[in-house]
Amino acid sequence: MIVVIPLRRPPEAARSWLLLVMFLPLPALLLYRMIGRARFPRWRHQRFLTSAPLRDHVAGAMPLPTSAPSQLSQLVQRLGGFPACAGNSLAFQTHYADIVAAMVEAIDGAVRSVHLQTYIFADDHTGTLFIDALGRAVARGVDVRVLVDALGSRPWSKRSMAKLRGAGVDARLTLPIGFLLRRLRRDLRNHRKLCLIDGCTGFIGSLNIVDRDFKGGIVNDELVARVDGPVVAALEATFLTDWHLESAQLLDHPIIPPASGALVLQPMPSSPDHPSLGYERLLVEAIHAAKDEVTIVTPYLIPDDALMVALKNAVDRGVSVHIIVSMVVDQYLVRLAQRSFYDELLHAGVHLFRYRDRLLHAKSVSVDGRIGLVGSSNADIRSFMLNAEISLLIHDPAATQALEQIHCGYRHASDILTLAEWRSRPRLMRPLENLARLLTPLL
């Protein structure tokens, strides 16, 4: 295990695994067989390579900005495969019902294709709105394909998949779960959330296809960006790659749509299929490049060593670092582990805000009013190492400032946490938080 565990694994994760092996060797071996290897089978890796020409074709055809690419843009291209792309438009949407209505309206306006990918697809009221719209699209002769994560949608998948297929939709479960230990891994999930219309319009962000209050009275707040223009072709290529991985069908590469605006946008898919931990490296590099202000919005905050160092260094350089998390929680182990980092962050000078009343499920970042980031990725180990995610980098001050206005609204709806207040919490919670912290690299 000393030889095997450290391979392609951060030091903090390796330490936790080795500690577990030392004290509980047999349970550790079983657990490692189930969730310890952050990689896919060889056949899946081969399919990913087979679809590389599709992604390369799109990357080579995307219109480039007139200015020279920044170092951050070059890094994102190396990590995700797609360059910064000119000629796009973008609009943020934050109201749950309005996001659902906009996506359903876009599906109803589709004439060629609808490609929808989500972690959760329920058969509740919201899911039924989508199923009905997708069925109407099929009836018009539109090519409709849907990818749904098998674990994320497990409580609803039998019913929702039956309804989708009954409506004529070609729907597939991603990363199906098997009983045997040889299964596609339960902990490697496809967490992407995309709705792509005719290859020209895309919705990217945090919204799942499920009612806003689907978790026992917890109400979610979301953030989604609607994008139009050539960048949507790269989102299509990401979807078609995942479709190939699950169905073995390699479809034609998407056509680059015409320009619809002047924004420079850059998509970055990340997953264990890619050779590098893309989202973590992007986030850390963006923080290292910050000069004035960084805001990170995430429902789940489990930073690794590299991210902690970047945050502390930013504060010491005089950068104002704001992290907005949610006071309402839906995963208690994650909550305990997350809380174990608060003392270190507050002591370093990070401004920590806790969003009141609802679960802020949005995932976004803004840096210096010039760089923005929105997508499906959390600031945690799962998004860094285990999940397939999709992020959209915004190379535009005006669009980034619109995102910062949203962040300002989040801060106004939050309580700022001070170090003195945090250290006055009940002492009983501290050992529980520290124990949970030891487990987080194993997840």
Neighbours of 428 (CB within 10 A): 7
Residue 184 is predicted with a pLDDT of 45
**186 Cβ partners below 8 Å, 6+ apart?**
34, 35, 151, 177
Cα distance between residue 77 and residue 365, in whole Å: 18
Instruction: Please tell me the predicted confidence (pLDDT) of residue 181.
Output: 41
| pLDDT value of residue 37 | 62
* CA 435 to mean position of chain CA atoms: 26
- 180: its two tokens: 């045997």
The torsion of the CA quartet 141, 246, 88, 134, rounded to 10 degrees, works out to: 30
Domains of the chain with CATH codes:
1-37 (no CATH), 45-67+89-263 (3.30.870.10), 278-442 (3.30.870.10)
β partners of residue 294: 321, 367
- Spatial CB neighbours of 302, under 8 Å, sequence gap ≥ 6: 334, 337, 338, 341, 379, 380, 381, 382, 440
Amino acid occupying residue 16: S
Of 308, 347, 209, 202, the C-alpha closest to 260 is 202
Specify the pLDDT at position 182.
43
Q: pLDDT in tens for each of the 443 residues of the chain?
A: 777 766 656 666 777 778 888 888 888 887 776 666 666 778 888 999 999 999 999 999 999 999 888 999 999 999 999 999 999 999 999 999 999 999 999 999 999 999 999 999 999 999 999 999 999 999 999 999 999 999 999 999 999 999 999 999 999 999 987 654 444 456 789 999 999 999 999 999 999 999 999 998 899 999 999 999 999 999 999 999 999 999 999 999 999 999 999 999 999 999 988 888 799 999 999 999 999 999 999 999 999 889 999 999 999 999 999 999 999 988 888 899 999 999 999 999 999 999 999 999 999 999 999 999 999 999 998 899 889 999 999 999 999 999 999 999 999 999 999 999 999 999 888 898 988 887 765 55
Query: Rg of the chain over CA atoms, in angstroms?
Result: 21
